[in-house]
Amino acid sequence: MSDLGELTYPDLEELLQNGLRTVLVLPLGATEPHGPHAPLETDTLISVGICRRAAERLADDPEVRALVLPPLPYGVTRYGAGFPGAVSIGEETLRALVVEVARSLAAQGLGRIVLVNSHFEPEQVRTLREAVEEAGESVRLLDLTRRQNAERLTEEFRSGSCHAGRYETSLVLADQPELVPRDRMDTLESKMIDMPAAIAAGQTDFMAMGMDRAYCGAPAEATAEEGEQTFELLTELLVELVREVAAC
Protein backbone atom coordinates (compact mmCIF):
# COMPACT_ATOMS: atom_id res chain seq x y z
CA MET A 1 0.00 0.00 0.00
CA SER A 2 1.58 3.29 -1.06
CA ASP A 3 -1.11 5.89 -0.32
CA LEU A 4 -0.46 7.42 3.06
CA GLY A 5 -4.11 8.37 3.43
CA GLU A 6 -5.18 4.74 3.29
CA LEU A 7 -3.00 3.72 6.22
CA THR A 8 -4.01 3.67 9.86
CA TYR A 9 -1.62 5.40 12.25
CA PRO A 10 -0.30 2.08 13.66
CA ASP A 11 0.33 0.95 10.05
CA LEU A 12 2.36 4.08 9.43
CA GLU A 13 4.21 3.73 12.71
CA GLU A 14 5.18 0.16 11.86
CA LEU A 15 6.21 1.09 8.35
CA LEU A 16 8.51 3.81 9.62
CA GLN A 17 10.29 1.42 11.96
CA ASN A 18 11.72 -0.83 9.29
CA GLY A 19 14.78 1.26 8.56
CA LEU A 20 14.04 2.38 4.99
CA ARG A 21 14.39 6.01 4.05
CA THR A 22 10.92 7.37 3.47
CA VAL A 23 10.21 10.08 0.92
CA LEU A 24 6.74 11.53 0.70
CA VAL A 25 5.45 12.52 -2.71
CA LEU A 26 2.76 15.21 -2.90
CA PRO A 27 0.64 15.24 -6.08
CA LEU A 28 -0.40 18.76 -7.11
CA GLY A 29 -2.94 19.59 -9.75
CA ALA A 30 -5.69 22.01 -10.57
CA THR A 31 -9.41 21.97 -11.14
CA GLU A 32 -9.84 23.64 -14.50
CA PRO A 33 -11.29 23.08 -17.98
CA HIS A 34 -9.36 20.67 -20.19
CA GLY A 35 -11.17 20.88 -23.50
CA PRO A 36 -14.64 19.43 -24.08
CA HIS A 37 -13.22 15.91 -23.74
CA ALA A 38 -10.93 15.65 -20.69
CA PRO A 39 -11.94 15.94 -17.05
CA LEU A 40 -11.54 19.04 -14.92
CA GLU A 41 -9.27 17.00 -12.65
CA THR A 42 -6.86 16.07 -15.46
CA ASP A 43 -3.77 17.65 -13.87
CA THR A 44 -4.42 16.11 -10.47
CA LEU A 45 -5.07 12.71 -12.00
CA ILE A 46 -1.75 12.88 -13.88
CA SER A 47 0.23 13.84 -10.76
CA VAL A 48 -1.39 11.08 -8.72
CA GLY A 49 -0.65 8.62 -11.54
CA ILE A 50 3.05 9.54 -11.57
CA CYS A 51 3.31 9.34 -7.77
CA ARG A 52 1.61 5.94 -7.50
CA ARG A 53 3.73 4.47 -10.27
CA ALA A 54 6.93 5.75 -8.64
CA ALA A 55 5.90 4.34 -5.25
CA GLU A 56 5.11 1.05 -6.93
CA ARG A 57 8.49 1.06 -8.72
CA LEU A 58 10.23 1.47 -5.36
CA ALA A 59 8.09 -1.08 -3.54
CA ASP A 60 10.89 -3.66 -3.27
CA ASP A 61 13.75 -1.23 -3.00
CA PRO A 62 16.15 -2.15 -0.19
CA GLU A 63 16.82 1.47 0.81
CA VAL A 64 14.11 3.88 -0.22
CA ARG A 65 10.34 3.92 0.10
CA ALA A 66 7.92 6.46 -1.36
CA LEU A 67 4.54 7.16 0.17
CA VAL A 68 1.92 9.14 -1.73
CA LEU A 69 0.31 11.99 0.20
CA PRO A 70 -3.34 12.92 -0.39
CA PRO A 71 -3.31 15.19 -3.47
CA LEU A 72 -3.89 18.91 -3.61
CA PRO A 73 -6.51 19.36 -6.35
CA TYR A 74 -6.53 23.19 -6.36
CA GLY A 75 -3.94 25.49 -7.82
CA VAL A 76 -3.39 28.96 -9.21
CA THR A 77 -5.48 28.68 -12.35
CA ARG A 78 -6.78 31.85 -13.95
CA TYR A 79 -6.49 31.24 -17.70
CA GLY A 80 -9.58 29.02 -17.77
CA ALA A 81 -11.77 31.45 -15.83
CA GLY A 82 -14.09 31.97 -18.83
CA PHE A 83 -15.27 28.35 -18.63
CA PRO A 84 -17.31 26.53 -15.99
CA GLY A 85 -15.25 24.51 -13.54
CA ALA A 86 -12.12 26.61 -13.12
CA VAL A 87 -11.47 26.83 -9.38
CA SER A 88 -8.51 29.00 -8.49
CA ILE A 89 -6.68 29.73 -5.28
CA GLY A 90 -4.19 32.57 -4.85
CA GLU A 91 -0.41 32.31 -4.85
CA GLU A 92 -0.16 33.10 -1.16
CA THR A 93 -2.67 30.39 -0.24
CA LEU A 94 -0.85 27.78 -2.30
CA ARG A 95 2.55 28.76 -0.94
CA ALA A 96 1.37 28.71 2.68
CA LEU A 97 -0.41 25.40 2.25
CA VAL A 98 2.61 23.65 0.79
CA VAL A 99 5.01 25.10 3.35
CA GLU A 100 2.75 24.28 6.30
CA VAL A 101 2.07 20.72 5.13
CA ALA A 102 5.83 20.21 4.74
CA ARG A 103 6.53 21.63 8.21
CA SER A 104 3.83 19.49 9.80
CA LEU A 105 5.33 16.37 8.24
CA ALA A 106 8.89 17.40 9.12
CA ALA A 107 7.86 17.78 12.77
CA GLN A 108 7.09 14.06 12.83
CA GLY A 109 10.30 13.03 11.12
CA LEU A 110 8.83 12.93 7.61
CA GLY A 111 10.64 15.91 6.18
CA ARG A 112 11.82 14.38 2.90
CA ILE A 113 9.19 15.48 0.41
CA VAL A 114 8.89 15.78 -3.37
CA LEU A 115 6.15 17.92 -4.92
CA VAL A 116 4.85 16.55 -8.20
CA ASN A 117 3.12 19.24 -10.25
CA SER A 118 1.22 18.84 -13.52
CA HIS A 119 -0.36 22.29 -13.79
CA PHE A 120 1.94 24.66 -15.61
CA GLU A 121 0.48 28.15 -15.38
CA PRO A 122 3.58 30.26 -14.72
CA GLU A 123 2.19 31.63 -11.45
CA GLN A 124 1.63 28.09 -10.18
CA VAL A 125 5.15 26.97 -11.07
CA ARG A 126 6.76 30.11 -9.65
CA THR A 127 4.82 29.75 -6.39
CA LEU A 128 5.87 26.13 -5.99
CA ARG A 129 9.51 27.02 -6.63
CA GLU A 130 9.26 29.65 -3.90
CA ALA A 131 7.53 27.23 -1.54
CA VAL A 132 10.23 24.56 -1.82
CA GLU A 133 12.86 27.25 -1.36
CA GLU A 134 11.18 28.30 1.86
CA ALA A 135 10.48 24.77 3.10
CA GLY A 136 14.16 23.76 3.14
CA GLU A 137 16.53 21.52 1.28
CA SER A 138 14.80 18.21 1.92
CA VAL A 139 11.73 19.48 0.05
CA ARG A 140 12.03 19.45 -3.73
CA LEU A 141 9.86 20.03 -6.78
CA LEU A 142 9.66 17.74 -9.81
CA ASP A 143 9.64 20.70 -12.18
CA LEU A 144 8.71 19.43 -15.62
CA THR A 145 9.08 22.90 -17.11
CA ARG A 146 12.85 22.75 -16.51
CA ARG A 147 14.65 22.07 -19.74
CA GLN A 148 16.50 18.94 -18.59
CA ASN A 149 13.14 17.35 -17.71
CA ALA A 150 11.06 18.74 -20.59
CA GLU A 151 13.51 17.51 -23.19
CA ARG A 152 12.84 13.93 -22.12
CA LEU A 153 9.10 14.31 -22.76
CA THR A 154 7.02 14.26 -25.95
CA GLU A 155 7.30 16.65 -28.86
CA GLU A 156 3.90 18.21 -28.15
CA PHE A 157 4.85 18.84 -24.53
CA ARG A 158 8.07 20.54 -25.61
CA SER A 159 6.22 22.63 -28.20
CA GLY A 160 4.21 24.32 -25.46
CA SER A 161 1.00 23.64 -27.38
CA CYS A 162 -0.11 21.14 -24.83
CA HIS A 163 -3.15 22.04 -22.80
CA ALA A 164 -5.55 19.08 -22.96
CA GLY A 165 -3.87 18.05 -26.21
CA ARG A 166 -2.25 14.77 -27.20
CA TYR A 167 0.17 14.73 -24.24
CA GLU A 168 -2.32 15.20 -21.41
CA THR A 169 -5.20 13.34 -23.06
CA SER A 170 -2.96 10.29 -23.62
CA LEU A 171 -2.10 10.25 -19.93
CA VAL A 172 -5.78 10.34 -18.97
CA LEU A 173 -6.52 7.55 -21.46
CA ALA A 174 -3.78 5.44 -19.89
CA ASP A 175 -5.06 5.96 -16.38
CA GLN A 176 -8.83 6.48 -16.49
CA PRO A 177 -10.10 6.00 -20.05
CA GLU A 178 -13.71 6.02 -18.89
CA LEU A 179 -13.37 9.76 -18.18
CA VAL A 180 -12.75 10.64 -21.84
CA PRO A 181 -15.74 10.62 -24.23
CA ARG A 182 -13.99 9.17 -27.27
CA ASP A 183 -16.56 10.27 -29.83
CA ARG A 184 -16.08 13.87 -28.76
CA MET A 185 -12.29 13.56 -28.55
CA ASP A 186 -12.10 12.12 -32.08
CA THR A 187 -13.78 15.16 -33.63
CA LEU A 188 -11.42 17.81 -32.19
CA GLU A 189 -9.23 19.42 -34.80
CA SER A 190 -5.65 20.13 -33.79
CA LYS A 191 -4.92 23.67 -32.69
CA MET A 192 -1.28 24.64 -32.51
CA ILE A 193 -0.87 27.50 -30.08
CA ASP A 194 2.47 28.45 -28.57
CA MET A 195 1.25 29.04 -25.03
CA PRO A 196 4.59 30.19 -23.58
CA ALA A 197 4.88 32.79 -26.38
CA ALA A 198 1.26 33.90 -25.90
CA ILE A 199 1.84 34.24 -22.16
CA ALA A 200 5.06 36.17 -22.76
CA ALA A 201 3.07 38.50 -25.02
CA GLY A 202 0.72 39.24 -22.15
CA GLN A 203 -2.25 37.02 -22.96
CA THR A 204 -3.68 35.67 -19.75
CA ASP A 205 -6.71 33.64 -20.70
CA PHE A 206 -7.51 30.74 -22.98
CA MET A 207 -9.93 32.76 -25.12
CA ALA A 208 -7.35 35.46 -25.88
CA MET A 209 -4.88 32.73 -26.83
CA GLY A 210 -7.36 31.36 -29.36
CA MET A 211 -8.33 28.36 -27.24
CA ASP A 212 -12.08 28.81 -27.63
CA ARG A 213 -12.77 25.28 -26.35
CA ALA A 214 -10.11 25.28 -23.62
CA TYR A 215 -7.59 23.07 -25.36
CA CYS A 216 -4.63 23.26 -27.72
CA GLY A 217 -2.47 20.61 -29.32
CA ALA A 218 -3.90 17.49 -30.93
CA PRO A 219 -6.21 15.61 -28.57
CA ALA A 220 -7.66 13.44 -31.35
CA GLU A 221 -4.20 11.86 -31.74
CA ALA A 222 -4.05 10.78 -28.11
CA THR A 223 -3.63 7.08 -27.31
CA ALA A 224 -3.44 5.06 -24.13
CA GLU A 225 -0.16 3.55 -25.42
CA GLU A 226 1.48 6.97 -25.65
CA GLY A 227 0.09 7.75 -22.20
CA GLU A 228 1.72 4.63 -20.75
CA GLN A 229 5.04 5.52 -22.37
CA THR A 230 4.86 9.05 -21.03
CA PHE A 231 3.94 7.80 -17.55
CA GLU A 232 6.99 5.57 -17.78
CA LEU A 233 9.25 8.57 -18.48
CA LEU A 234 7.61 10.69 -15.80
CA THR A 235 7.96 7.86 -13.31
CA GLU A 236 11.67 7.57 -14.07
CA LEU A 237 12.13 11.30 -13.50
CA LEU A 238 10.34 11.11 -10.17
CA VAL A 239 12.17 7.99 -8.98
CA GLU A 240 15.49 9.73 -9.74
CA LEU A 241 14.48 12.74 -7.68
CA VAL A 242 13.11 10.60 -4.83
CA ARG A 243 16.50 8.84 -4.65
CA GLU A 244 18.27 12.21 -4.52
CA VAL A 245 16.05 13.43 -1.71
CA ALA A 246 16.44 10.13 0.16
CA ALA A 247 20.19 10.61 0.13
CA CYS A 248 20.07 14.09 1.67
Residue nearest to Zn ion (CB): 43
Candidate list 43, 121, 175, 226; residue touching Zn ion; CB under 5 A: 43
Nearer to Zn ion, 22 or 77 (CB): 77
Q: Does 41 bind Zn ion (CB under 5 A)?
A: no
Smallest gap from Cβ 163 to Zn ion, in A, equals 6
Q: Does 143 bind Zn ion (CB under 5 A)?
A: no
The piece of 40-48, 84-92, 96-104, 209-217 that touches Zn ion (CB under 5 A) is 40-48
Using the CB atoms, write b or e for 160-193: b if 16+ within 10 Å: bbbbbbbbbbbbbbbbeeeebeeeebeebeebeb
The piece of 35-43, 55-63, 99-107, 184-192 that touches Zn ion (CB under 5 A) is 35-43
The piece of 37-45, 60-68, 122-130, 226-234 that touches Zn ion (CB under 5 A) is 37-45
Smallest gap from Cβ 43 to Zn ion, in A, equals 4
The site for Zn ion (CB under 5 A) is made up of 42-43
